[in-house]
Amino acid sequence: MRVKQIADALDISVDTVRYYTRIGLLVPNKSHNGYKYYRPADVTRLRFILSARALGFSVNDIKEILVTSSQTNAPCPTVRRLIEKRLKETEQRYQDMHELRERMRLATSEWQNKPDQPPTADTICHLIEGFTALKS
């Protein structure tokens, strides 16, 4: 299969196939004319990569899983450890985003009736610099 064929088979862009090839997660055969040819095993591997990315695994996580798997070891313990790590990170980002959302709502409410003011020698935008949620 050529790059367009593997992309079409997985309903992804050729750029996605090229990206995973460039970073070494896919290693196609090269022909004498310089074209890269992908094997059915590459389709399976790329489908795995896409599924792992959809679950939040990083490229480095995927490399670790593939290395473990290539050593004929069951990658499941590695997968469980990594997904727990990614889940904790995601929960923290979610909490951070929730707090940011609340600060933004408060700012919107606070700034609703405040007048516009030009910058001064001491301020650039009085709305941001005087925002009460930022004061500790």
Q: Domains for the chain: give ranges and CATH numbers.
A: 1-55 (1.10.1660.10), 58-135 (no CATH)
Q: What are the backbone dihedrals phi and psi of residue 110, each rounded to the nearest 5 degrees, phi first? A: -65, -35
- 32 DSSP 8-state letter: T
Torsion over CA: 23, 28, 29, 34 (sign): negative
- When pLDDT is cut at 50, 70 and 90, the band that residue 37 belongs to is very high
What is the model's pTM? 0.79
Q: What is the average pLDDT across 5-20?
A: 96
- 114 DSSP 8-state letter: P
Give every CB contact of residue 123 below 8 A, 6+ residues apart in sequence: 117, 129
Which residues of the chain form beta strands (DSSP E)?
29-30, 36-37
Residue 50 contacts residue 12 (beta carbons within 8 Å): yes
- When pLDDT is cut at 50, 70 and 90, the band that residue 32 belongs to is confident
Task: Answer whether residue 135 shows pLDDT above 80.
Answer: no
For residue 116, what are the CA distances in angstroms to 55, 111, 119, 126?
A: 45, 10, 10, 9
Check residue 72 and give its pLDDT.
Answer: 79
Gap between the Cα atoms of 83 and 56, Å rounded: 8
- Give the tens place of pLDDT for each residue, 90-134: 999 999 999 999 999 999 999 999 999 999 999 999 999 988 766
- β-bridge partners, 37: 29
- Give the tens place of pLDDT for each residue, 63-81: 999 999 988 789 999 999 9
Q: Give the long-range contacts of residues 112-117, CB within 8 A, separation 24 or more.
A: none
